[in-house]
Every structure is written in C-alpha cells, then in structure tokens.
Amino acid sequence: MLAPLMALAGRPELRLDADGRWMPQLPADELGGALVGEVAFQPYAREGGLTHQLDLIAYGRYDFNFDRHSHADAREAAYTLASPDYELRLGISRAFWGVVEAVNLVDVINQEDWLEDVSSDDKLGQPLISAAWSGHYGIWRAYYLPLFRPREFPDRALFPVPFPIEESEARYESSRAEQHGDWALRWTNSIGSLDYGLSVFEGTAREPLLRPCAEQGSGRPGTEEQANCDLEEAFGGEPDPVQALILQLGSGLGLTPSQEELEQEALEDIVLVPHYDQMRQYGLELQWITGGWALKLEGRYREIRGRSQLAAATGFEYTQGTPFGWPADFGYVVEYLYDDVEGAEGFSPLRNDLLLAWRGTFSDIAGSQILAGVIQDLDNRGRIYSIEASRRLSGSLRAELDLRIFSDIPAEDPLAFLADTDRLQLLLSYYL
C-alpha cells in the first residue's frame, strides 16, 4: 500500500483572483472587494488494476471591507482507492447531485459557503467516508458523514436580515449537535438517453431555521447563560401588541417586522439563532437527452419538523448549434420551480417561480461564455435578473462578470430583505 502512495505523481495548480464588488446600497468606502487564492494538487498512481489518488484543494479569501468574509477552507483533502468496479474515498470532499439549472433540490451532502455568496454554488468541504460499486444495474454510492459543518452567514450589509445572527448560539434537534453521524445512499443508472438517480439522506438539515430569541446577557428572563428562544418567557412583561409582533417573526427570514410598532428597547434585545433539525430526504433526478433537447426533473420529499415537504424543479434546455452560421452554441432554458414549504416551517425563496434563460458558448480563442436569465415569481410581480459572463484575456488570465438585480419584490415576499442587494461583481483570475 505504501509503495504506490510514495509514487504519486502530479503537478500543483494555483489560481489567484482579484474580486471587485459594487452594490448600490453600500457607501463608497465599503464597495472594495477581495483577494482569493486556490491551490489544487491531485496526484495519482496506478498499481495493477488499482488507482490511488489524493485530492488536495485549499481555498482562502481576504476581504478588504468585511472581516468575517475573510476565511479559509479545505475544499478537498481526501484519499481515493479505485478499481473498475468499486471506489473507496476517505477524508474531506465535495459531492454534487442534480441536473437542473436554477436550483439543485437534491444536493445535500455539503454545506453551502454563504461567505462567498448566498446564490452561488460554492460548497464547504465535508468530512466523509464514501464507498461506490458499479455494476450492470448502475452505480451505488454510500456516504457516512461523521461531522456536521454549520452555516456561516454574510455581513448584514450584504445580507440585511432584521436582526443580528448569533452563529455561536446554534441549536440542534440532535443531542449530539455537530457530531451527529449522517448517512446517505444514491443510485444512478442510464437507459439509452435517459439518465436517472434515486437518493436518500438522513441526518442534520443543511439549511437552518433562524429563530428570533432574546440575546444572552440582555437582562431578559432566561438570558443569563444563553439566548432565550422562549419569547413568551423572555418578553412576557411587554405590552401585548409588542409581544404579538415579536412572535409573528416565526422562523422565516422573510417575515420582516414593522419597526414603527415595536419598541426600540425590545428590538435591541432580539437576535436570530440558527436551529438545525433532523430530517429524512428522498430525491429523484431525471434527464433525457434527445437531439438538441435536454428534458430535466429534480424532486425531493422531506420529513422534517413533524411534517412532509415536497419540492420540484422541471423544465428543458434546447441547444442550437452554429446559430446563423456563427461558431457558437446557443442554449434556451425554461424551468418551473415549486416548493410547498410554509413561512414558519422553513425558508425557501423559490416556491412558485419560472426561470427563463439563454446560454451562449462561443468557439473563439478566448473561450467566451454568457448566461443571462430571469426568475419570475408567479404569485406576484417580483423578478430576479442575472447575467454571468466570462472570457479569457490572455493565456493565463480570465475575466468573469456577474450581475444580479432584484426587481419589484413586494414586502410580503420571502426575498423582501434582499430587495436592496443588487450587485455587480468583476473577477480576474490568473492560473499558474
């Protein structure tokens, strides 16, 4: 076993980014940006019919304006032993599940890295043990996740929730808290042009509820040693209208209180405490590709907080090759998004929405790409516009542009607190 590990061969890769950000709601001295670095080293060796591989990916961000956004993470630090029929993986790793463009409902192994962006696909490395077996009837993969990673939240200037979030006060349904052992099983297979997958996960929910609580040390009853999330006890002495409004906050991010009707003293004593429930999730993925069409479906069924939740995303992407004789591929995306979660039961921004998007992949030397889309809320007039574009400026330098605009978001919408967080971001990446 040691001989092939000593013979691992590979070349480290380094990416350095300069990240510039402009948001209209921020003062000029807070616009700034960040420096980002990622080092990847993935050596491997083959011995007979076995492959030994190490995946080492370290990531770091230094933010010029928001200290809490400066962070580092081991995205990957794993050893893999593989043969043609099986695979064993140990360490810190990432796993991606899903086929839909707008949102990946079944993707549940890794925690989202919200210090990067609440709408990005960045994931934290997850300690795990996984085993896979490939046979005539598809690929089976089992996961054991011995340690949970709680979510970290952005600065309130970028994520303007009504009250401060106390991550250190996080609560868990499981008495083992972060050390609860989660598990998952996924089966994927293909029949002709149809790819499908079934999965089950049981363990700590990756998305926390944010519960309004009386802050520790605020002088409210029950706050001597920790935040008190029993609001009836903590604010029992407040006038009835104040108490009723505080209780209305529930656990949803989008339930913004009326500050004019709340006493300032009570407001200053409120914090939001993340609460992580236990859940069981069943997932389904379908993708059928025929000609230039890709038909997609993702669905999940959850049992959490004593009730069931159903969410689904379905649609199609049509790819047009060499449109108008141009050396490019154009993709047209239409997806419908549904989630039956209710306000006090969790936060889901896309409950009855339609995505329309266009993708352009150009066959030029610069490798130019663009993705433009809009998500329309079918229950109200709210929309989210987005544009992502990238182009190589030289052999090792690439530029990426990311624009996001929230338009006509009504006050009762779960995304109302993000209505003033439009963003223009420019990223310059240099590869070594």
Instruction: Please list, in sequence order, all residues whose beta carbon lies within 8 angstroms of the beta carbon of residue 185, skipping any fewer than 6 positions away.
Output: 140, 141, 142, 143, 199, 200
Nearest CA to 106 out of 241, 296, 260 is that of 296
The phi, psi pair for 247, rounded to 5°, reads -65, -25
| pLDDT tens-digit series, residues 169-191 | 999 999 999 999 999 999 999 99
What is the rounded distance in angstroms from the CA atom of residue 29 to the CA atom of residue 32?
Answer: 7
- The pTM of this model reads 0.87
| pLDDT tens-digit series, residues 198-231 | 999 999 999 999 888 988 888 888 888 898 888 8
At residue 241 the predicted structure's pLDDT band, cuts being 50, 70 and 90, is very low
At residue 409 the predicted structure's pLDDT band, cuts being 50, 70 and 90, is confident
Percent of the chain at pLDDT exceeding 70 = 88
Query: Strand 171-172 to strand 270-276: parallel, antiparallel, or no bridges (unpaired)?
Result: parallel
Mean pLDDT of 148-171: 90
The answer, yes or no, to whether residue 367 has pLDDT greater than 50, is yes
Helix (H) or strand (E) holding 241: helix 240-248
Mean pLDDT of 92-121: 92
At residue 70 the predicted structure's pLDDT band, cuts being 50, 70 and 90, is very high
What is the rounded distance in angstroms from the CA atom of residue 109 to the CA atom of residue 112?
Answer: 10
**How big is the chain by its Cα radius of gyration, in Å?**
23
Give the distance, in angstroms, between the CA of residue 147 and the centroid of all CA atoms in the same chain.
18
Q: List the beta bridge partners of residue 183.
A: 144, 202
| pLDDT tens-digit series, residues 268-279 | 888 999 999 999
Instruction: Please list, in sequence order, all residues whose beta carbon lies within 8 angstroms of the beta carbon of residue 213, skipping any fewer than 6 positions away.
Output: 166, 169, 227, 228, 229, 231, 234, 270, 271, 272, 273
pLDDT of residue 21: 87
DSSP secondary structure of 82-95: E-SSEEEEEEEE--
Tell me if 49 sits within 8 A of 32, measured CB to CB.
no
The phi, psi pair for 297, rounded to 5°, reads -150, 130
pLDDT of residue 246: 47
From residue 399, give the alpha-carbon distance in Å to each of 12, 35, 113: 22, 14, 22
Query: Strand 278-290 to strand 369-377: parallel, antiparallel, or no bridges (unpaired)?
Result: unpaired
Mean pLDDT of 228-235: 83
At residue 90 the predicted structure's pLDDT band, cuts being 50, 70 and 90, is very high
| pLDDT tens-digit series, residues 279-303 | 999 999 999 999 999 999 999 999 9
Q: What residue spans of 249-371 are helical by DSSP H?
A: 264-268
Residue with tokens 């209780």: 247
From residue 172, give the alpha-carbon distance in Å to each of 135, 250, 255, 280, 309: 39, 17, 22, 15, 20
At residue 259 the predicted structure's pLDDT band, cuts being 50, 70 and 90, is very low
At residue 243 the predicted structure's pLDDT band, cuts being 50, 70 and 90, is very low
Q: To the nearest 10°, the Cα dihedral for 99, 100, 104, 108?
A: -10
What is the rounded distance in angstroms from the CA atom of residue 81 to the CA atom of residue 86?
Answer: 8
Higher pLDDT, 166 or 121: 166
